[in-house]
Structures are given as C-alpha cells and as structure tokens.
Structure 1
C-alpha cells in the first residue's frame, strides 16, 4: 500500500512539475515577444526621427 501511495505521489508531483514548467515556458515566450515588439517600435521611432532630421536639414538649405 505504501508503494502504491508513493508511486501516486511521485506521479502527481511529476505532473505538477511539468504543468508549472509549461506555464513558465509560455510566460518566457510572451515576455520575449513583448521585448522584440518594443525593440522594433524603438527602431521605427529612431528611423522616423532620422528621416525628419534629414528633411529639416534639407528644407533649411
């Protein structure tokens, strides 16, 4: 009986472990996606600033 209970407890523990790892992996993937999108937006802003600065210099001369 103790062996069956130990086996059940270990199986249940493994299940909980894998479920938590699944959630951690999903959280990490979402965090990386948000970071990538933020970096892309910052690059777009820098590109637009450079373009506007070039247009301002062009219109001054």
Structure 2
C-alpha cells in the first residue's frame, strides 16, 4: 500500500511539475516575443526619425 501511495504521489508530483514548466515556458516565450516586437517598433521609429531629420537638414541646406 505504501508503494502504491508513493508511486501515485510521485506520478502526481511529476505531472504537476511538467505542467508548471510548460506554463513557464509559454510565459517566457510570449514575453520574448513581446520584447522582440517592441524592439522592432523602436528601431523603426529611430529609422523614420533619422530619415526625417536628414530630409529636414537637406531642406535647410537647399
């Protein structure tokens, strides 16, 4: 009986551990995606800003 209870407890513990690791993995992946998207947006904003500044300088020189 103790062996059966121990086996059941270990199986349940492994299942809970597996599920929590899966949720953690999904959470990390989502946050990495959000960070990547944010960095891409910031890079695009910088490119547009630099292009506008370059055009403004050319306009002032002309």
TM-score (norm 2): 0.96
- Quote how far apart the aligned CAs of 1:45 are: 0.4
Partner residue in 2 for 1:12: 12
CA RMSD of aligned residues (A): 0.4
Deviation per residue, 1:27-49 (Å, 9 max, x gap): 00000000000000000000001
Moved over 6 A (4+): none
Which residues of structure 1 form unaligned runs of 5+?
none
Matched, 1:36 2:36: yes
For residues 54 and 19 of structure 1, the distance between their equivalents in structure 2, rounded to whole angstroms, comes to 53
TM-score (norm 1): 0.98
Q: How many residues align?
A: 61
